[in-house]
A and B are shown apart, each in its own frame.
Chain A
Amino acid sequence: MFLELIIRGLAIGLVYALMGLGLVFITGVMRIINFAHGEFYMIGGYMAYYSMSLFGLPFYLAVPVAMAGTFLIGAIVEKLLLSPIHTQNIEEPMNYALIMTFALLLFFRKLAALVFGPFYRKPIDYIPTDLHIVGVKISGNMVLSGLVSASIVLGLALFIKKSWRGRGWRAITQSYNGAKICGVDIGRESWISCGLACALAGAAGALVAPIFLVWPDCGASPLIKSYEVLAIGGLGSITGSLVAGVMLGVTETLGAFYISSAYKDAIGFVMMVLFLLFRPQGLFGKK
């Protein structure tokens, strides 16, 4: 039983890490608090569902379609709404960009409810059979979403580490003005990174759509999880978000089983608050 909980938590945790990484990324590069992050998860889920049910795409095409769609929406949102008003100052309490993303959260949620209706949608199972790993039975969808999440996170980490564009992103994270002086085109990198962060959320939504289903309010819980990952892992740390996501997933699964499933969502919150109070820089973040 214990081993099954651990493996289940690991698979969920990797998806949390993917969501959290998007948030870490957008917070680092754009210095923005994105409340609409969970809504891109929802949009990704709907895109995967409709591209499979309406156009009959197989799942290995549906997930990239969802990623591309959310990338476009994220980039458009950044260009039209966020870049004109936000000030790159995360300590600023009167930051209107935060309020804007909050308005976007309501907008996307209510739009989805109006367009798609308040129904629970379930795409066809990606891998319909159960798999056996070290004697534990676990659904194929879960394994697939965990593995794909892990590979996306690792791929992005490699890209940020090695490529010139990734170097530019790291420069913006460290010093906004310094990056500007060294010739990083901040306006362009902003919309690319916003789109990319949204695409990560969309990928997570598309991957877990057959497990957790899709409905207009389904972005609420992943949004909370990704903020917990951000707070625990630390700002601007990819390793941190990976470790924090796995930690959160395993702790929650164990807590739901051994303590109380009613308080499952409270466990992550308490962890987040404790981290914010006693180690504000997170596990791997710098002060």
Chain B
Amino acid sequence: MRKNEIIVTASMLILGLLAPWVVPQFWVTILSVFAYYAIVAIGWNIVFGYTGLFSYGHVAFPAIGGYTSALLAEYIGLSPFLGVVLGALAAGFTGILIGLIILRVRGFYLVLVTWAFAEVINVTIKAEYLITGGTGGFVAPPFFEGPDSELYGYFIGLGLMLLTFIVSAVLYHSRWGLYLFATRDDSDAAESMGINTRLWKVFGFAFGCAWAGMAGAFYAHFFTLVDPTIGGLDEMGKICLIVIIGGIGTVFGPLLGSFFVVIVSELIRGWVAGLSLFIFSIVMILAVRFVRGGFMEVINVLSPRFRDKYLQLIGKPKAF
């Protein structure tokens, strides 16, 4: 990890731990939603940004993780903490299977296969309503019983988000990350350099999906309800939007994007139903049209200028 990543992680940890005593109770829930979206978006960033596989079925994995954990807790009384781990594992193994299937297809056929997978999962959850509760959702136990369960759930979400962030940052700077980038940028060239591109494609896909599964299990136990909408198209739109306006293939992008999306959609919630996604779609169109890199590109362009200003202010010569 680089210096700025360590700084961001530490400050997020401190701010996150202080937050419940500073902000109103209501915002603790919003911050937990932020943690959920950040984890899923980091997962998608690993799949699309790092590995270059445009998976359109990423939201199926939170659904798999959430339902795995909730169903196990209901039928065999599994602890929610083990459920989070098992949800991640279930999503990861499904990711390996789908990853092996999509090795056969390229380009936009990949989009179609992952999309079809997500829809089949969604249809199955809705159709098997005797087991999964159908569209009404399925009730899952909370992490801790009692009046403070929301607060503890928030801390768990914060911890999982920081864990995901640290892992994605370490992966970004590691040798494995380089294998993933090489596979993304030019599969044939990577192959000729001795990289097993098939292995790394499956790894990148399944690894990103496992985090999504973990996030789904967290969501299920935090809200004590999991319903098929977490695997729907609107959610995929949100994830896509978060990563695009944050910055594809960057470490900070998904965090920035999810913070922006969750906070802004909360602030404008009261106005008109469905307004937030409408505004975000306009932001997304403008971002794709004019600023491809999202927030991270804006920061990268502006930051040298700010550094020069700052050095001028404190009276030091410009850095070279």
Contacts and interface: CB of A to CB of B under 8 A. Distances in A.
A93 B288 contact: no
A94 B52 contact: yes
Contacts of B104: 276-277, 280
B274 interface: yes
Given A104-B285, A262-B126, 18 more contacts: A81-B285, A84-B289, A91-B107, A93-B107, A99-B240, A99-B284, A100-B285, A100-B289, A103-B285, A106-B237, A106-B281, A110-B278, A113-B274, A114-B275, A224-B119, A269-B116, A273-B101, A277-B105
Given A262-B123, A266-B124, A33 B111 contact: yes
A219 to B, nearest CB: 11
B107 A90 contact: yes
23 contacts: A33-B111, A81-B285, A81-B289, A85-B288, A94-B248, A98-B54, A99-B284, A100-B285, A103-B281, A103-B288, A106-B277, A106-B284, A107-B281, A111-B278, A113-B273, A113-B274, A231-B109, A265-B123, A266-B124, A269-B123, A272-B116, A273-B117, A276-B109
Contacts of A99: 240, 244, 284, 288
A270 interface: yes
B113 A273 contact: yes
Ranked nearest first, the 10 interchain pairs of A and B with the lowest CB-CB distance are A110-B278, A262-B127, A106-B281, A107-B281, A103-B284, A269-B116, A33-B108, A91-B107, A93-B52, A266-B123
A107 B241 CA distance: 12
B52 A85 contact: no
Interface string B237-260: 100110010001000000000000
A96 interface: yes
B102 to A, nearest CB: 9
Interface string A113-156: 11000100000000000000000000000000000000000000
Interface string A47-74: 0000000000000000000000000000
Interface string B107-146: 1111111011101100110110000000000000000000
A102 interface: yes
A224 B281 CA distance: 21
B113 A91 contact: no
A220 interface: yes
B120 A269 contact: yes
Nearest to B236: A102
Contacts of B237: 102, 105-106
Contact of B119 (A103, A262, A265): A265
A263 interface: yes
Q: How large is the interface on A (under 10, 10 to 19, 20 to 34, 35 or more residues)?
A: 35 or more
A276 B106 CA distance: 10
Contacts of A92: 107
B240 A102 contact: yes
B119 A269 contact: yes
Interface of A: 33, 81, 84-85, 90-94, 96, 98-100, 102-107, 110-111, 113-114, 118, 220, 224, 227, 231, 260, 262-263, 265-266, 269-270, 272-273, 276-277, 280
Given A91-B106, A93-B52, A273-B113, A114 B288 contact: no
Given A100-B289, A106-B280, A263-B123, A276 B274 contact: no
Contacts of B244: 99
A81 B281 CA distance: 13
Contacts of A111: 278
Nearest to A99: B288
Contacts of B123: 262-263, 265-266, 269
Contacts of A91: 106-107
A277 to B, nearest CB: 6
Interface string B188-224: 0000000000000000000000000000000000000
A273 B102 CA distance: 10
Nearest to A96: B288
Contacts of B106: 91
Contacts of A276: 104-105, 109, 112-113
A107 B282 contact: yes
B73 to A, nearest CB: 26
Contacts of B85: none
Interface string B48-85: 00001110000000000000000000000000000000
B278 A114 contact: yes
B182 to A, nearest CB: 14
B111 A98 contact: yes
Q: Taking each of B101, B107, B110, which has the highest tally of chain A beta carbons within 10 Å of its own beta carbon?
A: B107
Interface string B24-66: 0000000000000000000000000000111000000000000
A93 B274 CA distance: 30
A100 B106 CA distance: 20
A113 B116 CA distance: 26
A287 to B, nearest CB: 13
A263 B275 CA distance: 32
